[in-house]
Chains A and B, each alone.
Chain A
């Protein structure tokens, strides 16, 4: 069963965290990702750039609108996603609990419904 861990936290720049300060967090994330991979549970990780680099696109009002900035302007931002494949929610929570981002942000654990691989849609179950 696939789960996506959504990492929500303030951006380093907003809370005065320097490059040097990021080093221990990077080491922790490195160990975390390697642990997940070692367990055969890691599907994919993307750590996102700050929302300053974000652009939104919509046609919902009839015409194309392209805007700078994120979709939701919140204090805590979506900062990265870990997609993991584990037997059940208990296991997903066991891994989420160890995610370094829990120390300064909130990790949302959300089950995947469908994903697309090898040319076809697949159920996560």
Chain B
């Protein structure tokens, strides 16, 4: 008999894992009140854990939970309307019986929820945490820890953001064609933000990858729901391809391994193929964009697993195109490194000299790249100076050790 509560709990947990976002989106879409929908869903899940051990889990757990949550929500609005003059939300639309309907046949409102989370009126810094909590059902404490923000502070910001969505009536709908490009960019950037959380660079922290797989899931969800949006497909391709090398990127000790020294057999071939499939679908729509270009750059690196070489000429064309649509310091430095591969270290240094963007003089990768190229060119004195500057800007211990080793080698080779 001891297994039964466990089985019931597992059934409820299964619902959370697979369907939380779908149920929440459906409950919140009509009223725009995410917090009330979360409360109702939490109540329903709690009831499931209480009741299912005695009754056994129902044949259609999602339908059961949705019905209970919907009734809760309806009660909530009725009592709110009775107590105050709150406008009664569209409760009538909730009257259908869902008990015998499978989760796959009910409308998927998650896209609408994602667009609400990344609405222009929402603080960009809160879009990603809100998506993680509402669409994936991630615990607010886990989100706070990943961002290294005190838990109550994150909880308070999430509550405020949801209140704002409700009070300002931010609509839950998928934008039409005219709005789509700008709105979709905001959604995709928020998902990318979950992949690239990186305040770190401090040794001893291991949260770096904790949200990466959640981001990949969200990107693929959006790509699957918007199969005609090339940038949505591009982001799914980018994150799949980039994460395919995750286990080759660090030593068991935590030491990072540079791309050209990674063990190619550790690259995940299945993930690469999946990323390539998204990228091909994106290309077929013939409308290039930032995420597709970044995915294509990843793809060019991944190709080394098959061909044994990197096509630097193709990479240079991709960086040029990327800088045209989405200029960034990182891409400019990577372009200079690619030029060095093609035309020698002096040409790479000249390309670095050509970067005039603000902040380049305190951009660590620019100094580290300059140091390597100067060392290759045999300019020991300037290389050592550039290494010193790069080291002073490096807060990560592994990277600093690696730079110091390189600098020591350059000095040793440069002294007769």
Q: Which residues on A are within 8 Å of B, measured CB to CB?
A: 12, 15-18, 21-22, 24-25, 28, 30-32, 34-35, 38-39, 86-88, 90-91, 93-95, 98, 100, 102-104
Q: How far is the CA of A95 from the CA of B145 in the complex (A)?
A: 20
Taking the complex as formed, is B202 at the interface, i.e. its CB lies under 8 A from any CB of chain A? yes
- Which chain A residues lie closer than 8 Å to B400 at the CB level? 38-39
A103's partner among B199, B204, B364, B396 (CB-CB below 8 A) is B199
Q: How far is the CA of A35 from the CA of B200 in the complex (A)?
A: 11
Q: A87-B392, A94-B395 in contact; A17/B150 too (CB < 8 A)?
A: yes
Q: Which residue of B lies closest to A93 (CB)?
A: B362
A23 CB, min distance to chain B CBs, angstroms? 9
Give Cα A15 to B199, complex, Å.
23
Tell whether B42 is near chain A: CB-to-CB under 8 Å: no
Contacts of A39 in B (CB 8 A): 394-395, 397, 400
How far does the Cβ of B35 sit from chain A's closest Cβ, in whole Å?
18
Closest to B204 in A: A31
Residues of chain B from 330 to 371 with CB closer than 8 A to chain A in the complex? 361-362, 364
Q: Which residues on B are within 8 Å of A, measured CB to CB? A: 144-145, 147-153, 199-205, 361-362, 364, 388-389, 392-397, 400
Task: Please indicate the chain A residues that have their CB under 8 angstroms from the CB of B396 in the complex.
Answer: 35
In the complex, are the beta carbons of A38 and B388 less than 8 A apart?
no
22 CB < 8 A contacts A-B: A15-B152, A15-B153, A21-B152, A24-B144, A24-B145, A24-B151, A30-B204, A31-B202, A35-B203, A35-B204, A35-B395, A38-B397, A39-B395, A39-B397, A87-B388, A87-B392, A94-B362, A94-B392, A95-B395, A98-B395, A103-B148, A103-B153
| Contact (Cβ within 8 A) A94 B199 | no
In the complex, what residues of A have CB within 8 A of residue B151's CB? 21, 24
A-B pairs with beta carbons under 8 A, tally: 79
Does B148 lie within 8 Å of A24, measured CB to CB?
A: yes
A74 to B326, CA, bound (A): 41
Closest A residue by C-beta to B151: A21
With A and B bound together, what is the CA distance between A121 and B152 in angstroms? 44
CB distance from B390 to the nearest CB of A (A): 10
Instruction: Say yes or no: A35 contacts B199, CB within 8 Å.
Output: no
- Alpha-carbon gap, A21 to B140, bound state (A): 12
Q: Which residue on chain B has the smallest CB distance to residue A38?
A: B397
Known: A28-B205, A39-B395, A39-B397. A90 touches B362 (CB 8 A): yes
> CB distance B202 to A16 under 8 Å?
no
Q: Which of chain A's residues have a CB closer than 8 A to the CB of B148?
A: 24-25, 28, 100, 103
Interface residue from A30, A93, A104 paired with B149 (Cβ < 8 Å): A104
Distance A91 CA – B367 CA, assembled complex (angstroms):
12
How distant is A2 from chain B, measured CB to nearest CB, in Å? 14
Interface residue from B149, B199, B392 paired with A91 (Cβ < 8 Å) = B392
B147, B205, B393: residue with the most chain A Cβ atoms closer than 10 Å: B393
Residues of chain B contacted by A28 (CB below 8 angstroms): 148, 202, 205
B389 neighbours in A (Cβ, 8 Å): 87, 90
| B150 interface neighbour in A22, A91, A93, Cβ under 8 Å | A22
For the complex of A and B, 10 pairs with smallest distance between CB atoms: A90-B362, A31-B204, A91-B392, A87-B392, A94-B393, A35-B202, A103-B149, A21-B151, A31-B202, A98-B395
